[in-house]
Structure 1
Amino acid sequence: MDKEKLIIKAFLNELNGDDGAVIKNWCLSKDLFFENVHFKREWLSLEQIASKAMLVNISDAIVMNAVPRYALLGLALPKNLNENQIKDLQRGFLKTAKKFGIKIIGGDTISNEKIDISITLLSKIRKKAIYRKGLKIGHLLAFTGELGQSLKGLELLQKGGSLEAKHRFIKPKLRKDFFYKIANKVVCAMDISDGLSKDLSRLLELNQLGISWFKTLDFYELYSGEEYEILFAFEKKDKEFIEKMAQKYKLKLNIFGQAVKGKYEFRGKEHHF
């Protein structure tokens, strides 16, 4: 058992273990975004740091079929940040919150040696929540978009290069319009934050199933983390509808496998600890 599983196991209950906790018609979620863990200051502007911190949290709400409404911010910031730098951070939070209709309603701030951000999101469930559990034999497995660019971007940054402001590593693309449209056909879903292979292993382990692959995916498609595309499953009878919706929203849809009896083993590098 890895240490992440050890921590989660102590708090397991009927509300825990998904991208968010569903309480009545609300979804509550939290993500951390820490300097020297998720980013380096020389890689992103302060506005980009705050914006990405919001986006990675919003991603969790979307895959639960929930619409973000309120946010609580936990900010640990260096004392040497000046007023203009703090305003840059504020701008990133506020612009992204406004884009998704989110109101920031409070939180906490402390001084720290680096920038550490914790965001709690309160989101309204649309009709019914979508969980990671629900996969059955015969269901088709798919992911949105193209995977691999986040890891390639990270590698470039680690070599001293730079990325355009619209690069996926800096500004994840969230697929809310497409996903909300197909949500009533989706049997289970999660966002791809730790790489397709790792997140697929979580989904299959939870549902005690394996996979029959339709195509061979390369290293970057399997192991690129922080993509924030959507991994989801659906019944064969809904394939045509989902494909039409992908075309409508000009989105690449990758139907890469089918759930079968068996087990899937993750063989990559752990992103946690």
Structure 2
Amino acid sequence: MNKEDFIIHAFLNEKNGDDGAVIDQWCYSKDLFFENVHFKREWLTLEQIAIKAMLVNISDAIVMNAEPKYALLGLALPNLSNEEIKILQKGFLKTAKKFGIKIIGGDTIYNDKIDISVTIISKVREKAVFREGLKKGHLLAYTGNLGESLRGLEILQNGGKLNLSHRFIKPKLRADFFYEIAPFISCAMDISDGLSKDLSRLLAKNKCGIEWLKNLDDYTLYSGEEYEILFAFDETQRFKIEQIAKKHRVKLNIFGKAVKGKYEFNGREHHF
């Protein structure tokens, strides 16, 4: 058991262990976004830091089939000027407005670097989507093109620059697409630690293995911080989901089928 699983198991209950915790019709989720863990200051502007910190948290709500409504911010900040703080605030407020979120509180302390904790409170739509629900024979799929985040990280680590729309700087979330397919899928999660790692979690949760339908390269398998969607569905829903993907211009990659067995992650997680 790795350290993350060890910590989760220490607090394990029926609400824990998913992208968010669902209580009645509300979903509660939290992610951290820390300097020198997820980014370097020279890689992102203050506004970009705030935007990405919000987006990676909103991603968790979306894949639970919940609409973000409120946010709590935990900010550990170095000695920033008032103007710098305003730039940081702009990123939080702009992203919150885009997704209809009201920032309702939090806490701020001094720190020698920028560490951000965001709690998102979301309203579950008709029915929450969990990681559990996969059945043998279900098809496994992910959205978009994976690997760009890892390639971007390598460019930054080698002293290069990324354009402002690059996935590593500003993840693309697919809320409208996911909300429409939610009634027709069996389980889902966002891809934050790489397809292979997150797939191992999904399969372990459902006590399944995988029959590969495609050969995937290392960038596709191991690129973290992609925030595309990993999900599964019964073969009978395939045409409907393909039509929804076309409608939203989302690339749909059906790469595997759930079978008896288990899948072990044996790669390297590519976080900074």
Per-residue CA deviations over 1:72-130 (Å, capped at 9, x if unaligned) read 00000002x11111011000000000000000000000000000000000000001100
Q: Partner of 1:204: helix, strand, or coil?
A: helix
Match of 2:100 in 1: 101
**Pair 1:188-2:151 in alignment:** no
Q: Write out per-residue CA displacement over residues 218-260 of structure 1, whole angstroms, 9 at most, x where no aligned residue.
A: 0000000000000000010010010011111111000001000
Q: Please name the residue that 2:178 is paired with.
A: 179
Q: Secondary structure at the match of 2:186?
A: strand
Q: Is the contact made by 2:150 and 2:270 (CA closer than 8 Å) also made in structure 1?
A: no
Equivalences for residues 1-273 of structure 1 within 5 A: 1-79=1-79, 81-270=80-269
Give CA deviations for 1:146-196 in whole Å, capped at 9, x if unaligned.
Answer: 000000000000000000010000000001000001110011000000000
Task: Calculate the TM-score normalised by the size of structure 1.
Answer: 0.98
Alpha-carbon offset, residue 270 of structure 1: 4.1
Structure 1: runs of 5+ lacking an equivalent:
none
Q: Distance in 1 between matches of 2:59 and 2:30?
A: 11
Q: Return the alpha-carbon distance in structure 1 between the equivalents of residues 270 and 150 of structure 2.
A: 12
Distance in structure 2 (CA, Å) of the matches to 1:17 and 1:271: 22
Opposite residue 14 of structure 1, the aligned amino acid is E
Amino acid at match of 2:54: M
Q: CA deviation at 1:269?
A: 1.7
Residue type of the partner of 2:222? Y
Partners of 1:193 and 1:225 in 2: how far apart? 5
Mapped to 2, the partners of 1:178 and 1:90 lie a distance apart of 29
Return the offset for 1:271: 5.9
d(CA) in 2 for partners of 1:6, 1:181: 35
Runs of 4+ residues over 6 Å off in structure 1 = none
Within 1, Cα distance between the matches of 2:234 and 2:63?
Answer: 17
The code of the aligned residue for 1:85 comes to: E
Listed one character per residue, the Cα deviations across residues 16-58 of structure 1 (whole Å, up to 9, x for unaligned) are 0000000000000000000000000000000000000000000
Task: Give the unaligned 5+ runs of structure 2.
Answer: none
Question: What is the alpha-carbon root mean square deviation over aligned residues?
Answer: 0.8
Q: TM-score w.r.t. structure 2 length?
A: 0.99
- Whole-Å separation in 2 of the counterparts to 1:220 and 1:250: 23
Contact 2:209 2:262 in 1 (8 A): yes
Query: Which amino acid in structure 2 is aligned with residue 171 of structure 1?
Result: K
Report the residue type matching 1:69 in the other structure: K
Once the two structures are aligned, what percentage of the paired residues are identical? 74
